[in-house]
A = this chain, B = another copy of it.
Amino acid sequence: MKRIGVLTSGGDSPGMNAAVRAVVRKGIYHGLEVAGVYQGYQGLIEGKIKDLEAGDVGDIIQRGGTKLYSARCPEFKTDAGQEKAIEQMKKHGLEGLVVIGGDGSYQGAMALTRKGFPCVGVPGTIDNDIPGTDYTIGFDTALNTVIEAIDKIRDTATSHERTFIIEVMGRDAGDLALWAGLAGGAETILIPEESYDLDEIVDRLKKGKARGKRHSIIIVAEGVMSGNELATLIEEKAGIETRVSVLGHIQRGGSPTARDRVLGSLFGARAVEVLLEGEGGKAIGMRNHLVVDYDMTKAFTEEHDADMTLYTLSKELSI
């Protein structure tokens, strides 16, 4: 293998740039040429491919977003689109591809691999929802963005003795809500992995007020329902007025935390090694504190599990 490519796909996440930097520099370290593919699979089809030197990925490890850009690409889901992509890669002399993104991006990577073009997946998403890895790149940054928001909202909640509902991202996964709820000292956390009991929620609110708590914070994962829906349910059920804060897209941006930069670096570097070992169809992950690679199909055929011990602990500690 002489020449590989790297692209970012799907929703961007902080730390993707660290992974891109690692792919480029680790590749160069091993004597490879590395090309950046701009705008994800769309750019791959259109041949938006440029050589990257070590200096081209300098000063990006601290930047949010992705310097390679990302894009939706319905065409790439078709056989014709994938053939175009392979044609472009042949034309540009690429022999392997590192795909940084979520499980949707992995499916595209697997399709290319099956057509004889080896791809390796690196988990980049704030949702932490990729089976086979304990952490994804961007999760830690998003999590800290959420707890900074919770800390700010608690100021005003305490001053005014209010109950706040904070809606956080995570798609179908509750990881962001769970970790943020525990770290933010939330009274109640609603996640898709666990059914909720409206009576219990209301009960906790009332008990908290009774023992003099000046604020209550409820974290709801977008995968359960919207913050406004929950506010309506609580209002209808118990006549309790709440304020809603939908954190939205600030969760996707920002300078990556140290951990996301290290994770991106470790994952990007390992992806290059796996390609060099001639193994396409693998995904990189962190499992029990070790960087691992595993069959990429696992990432979109199995289920991601949230760490429910955090859920239990949060309940015990928010008494």
A residues near B (Cβ < 8 Å) are 8, 11-12, 14, 18, 21-22, 25-26, 28-29, 54-55, 58-59, 61-66, 69-71, 134, 140, 143-147, 149, 151-156, 158-161, 164, 179-180, 182-185, 211-214, 243-250, 252-255, 257-259, 261-262, 265-266, 269, 287-290, 309-310, 313, 316-319
Contact between A63 and B317, CB atoms less than 8 A apart: no
How many identical chains are in the complex? 4
Contact between B69 and A140, CB atoms less than 8 A apart: no
Q: How far is the CA of A252 from the CA of B156 in the complex (A)?
A: 6
Contact residue among B69, B146, B259 (Cβ-Cβ distance under 8 Å from A259): B259
Given contacts A62-B154, A151-B253, A289-B289, 4 further A-B contacts (CB under 8 A): A64-B155, A152-B250, A269-B316, A288-B289
Set of chain B residues within 8 Å of A318, measured between Cβ atoms: 25
Contact residue among B8, B62, B290 (Cβ-Cβ distance under 8 Å from A151): B62
Set of chain B residues within 8 Å of A287, measured between Cβ atoms: 289
Q: Looking at chain A's contact residues, is the secondary structure mostly helix, strand, loop, or mixed?
A: helix
Name the 4 nearest CB pairs between A and B, nearest first. A152-B253, A64-B155, A155-B253, A65-B155
Contact between A22 and B317, CB atoms less than 8 A apart: yes
Set of chain B residues within 8 Å of A257, measured between Cβ atoms: 144, 147, 257
Set of chain B residues within 8 Å of A262, measured between Cβ atoms: 179, 182-183, 310
Set of chain B residues within 8 Å of A244, measured between Cβ atoms: 248
- If A55-B211, A153-B250, A252-B156 touch, whether A319 touches B25 (CB-CB below 8 Å) is yes
Q: How far is the CA of A257 from the CA of B26 in the complex (A)?
A: 30
- If A28-B319, A269-B313 touch, whether A156 touches B253 (CB-CB below 8 Å) is yes
Interchain residue pairs with CB less than 8 A apart (10): A26-B316, A55-B211, A59-B185, A61-B185, A65-B154, A69-B160, A155-B252, A183-B265, A288-B289, A288-B290
Set of chain B residues within 8 Å of A289, measured between Cβ atoms: 134, 287-289
Set of chain B residues within 8 Å of A55, measured between Cβ atoms: 211-213
Q: How far is the CA of A143 from the CA of B25 in the complex (A)?
A: 23
- Min distance, Cβ A308 to any Cβ of chain B, angstroms: 13
Residue among A12, A151, A159, A313 facing the most chain B CB atoms (10 A cut-off):
A159
